[in-house]
Structure 1
Amino acid sequence: MYNVSNLMKQAQKMQEDAARADRELLDRRISATSGGGAVTAVVNGKKDLIGISIQADFDLGDAEMAADLVVAAVREAQAEADRQADEIMKKVTAGMPHIPGLG
């Protein structure tokens, strides 16, 4: 049987750690490129788009290709943000007992 007081303390610590992790993710900057480095997208750890940069010498003549490169860079940056967020959350929940019925 679980000690309820101990579980409550662990839950409170996990909540504090999760809030700290959330702030860390908001401050984190993750970038990814496409088109051989022609396009760079930057997102925060929550996958919010922070910026896009396109190399000055990149030929924007093909708008569809340029748009595809932007989308590719954004998706890659967001995928990396997901990976980093998963790692952070694994640390937050490490050591918590598995209680049947709670996920």
Structure 2
Amino acid sequence: MFDMMKMMGKLKEVQENVKKAQEGLKDITATGESGAGMVTATVNGNKEVIDLEIDESLITKEDSDMMKDLIIAAINKAISEADVKSKEHMKKATEGMIPNIPGFDLNNMV
């Protein structure tokens, strides 16, 4: 028979584990580079830019448009990698907690 109290307890446990996993996202880092490494951006699992390195040879007024494009490309690559790592982190943190229900994806909670 279906035990509603047991299910509610399990749901609370899942919520706590998801919260802990989300807090751990700040410790995940991903790096993207562009321009053969001339620009490197690092983001965390919360998709926040935490570091940016620009090769000194790019820092001239004439190259500002190119530098802007390279920075955007590096940040977008880093965010994309962080998204993949974040989903893997959340999947591991909640693995085995609830049954595999089609359409129910805890990754959407991040």
Distance 2:102 2:28 in 1: 34
Unaligned runs of 5+ in 1: none
Aligned residue in 2 for 1:97: 99
Contact 2:58 2:67 (8 Å CA) reproduced: no
Aligned residue in 1 for 2:70: 69
Aligned residue in 2 for 1:37: 37
**What is the aligned-residue identity percentage?**
38
**Paired AA for residue 68 in structure 2:** A
Unaligned runs of 5+ in 2: 106-110
Q: Is the helix fraction higher in 1 or 2?
A: 2
Q: Which deviates more, 2-11 or 14-23?
A: 2-11
Contact 2:28 2:85 (8 Å CA) reproduced: no
Contact 1:14 1:92 (8 Å CA) reproduced: no
Q: Residues 73 and 101 (structure 1 numbering): CA distance in 2 closer, same or farther, change over 3 Å?
A: closer
Runs of 4+ displaced beyond 4 Å: 98-103
Q: Which deviates more, 41-50 or 10-19?
A: 10-19
Per-residue displacement from partner, 1:55-76 (whole Å, max 9, x unpaired)?
A: 1233643221111100000001
Per-residue displacement from partner, 1:14-56 (whole Å, max 9, x unpaired)?
A: 1121111111111222211111010011111010111211012
Q: Residues 64 and 17 (structure 1 numbering): CA distance in 2 closer, same or farther, change over 3 Å?
A: same
Using the size of structure 2 for normalisation, the TM-score is 0.77
Q: How many residues align?
A: 103
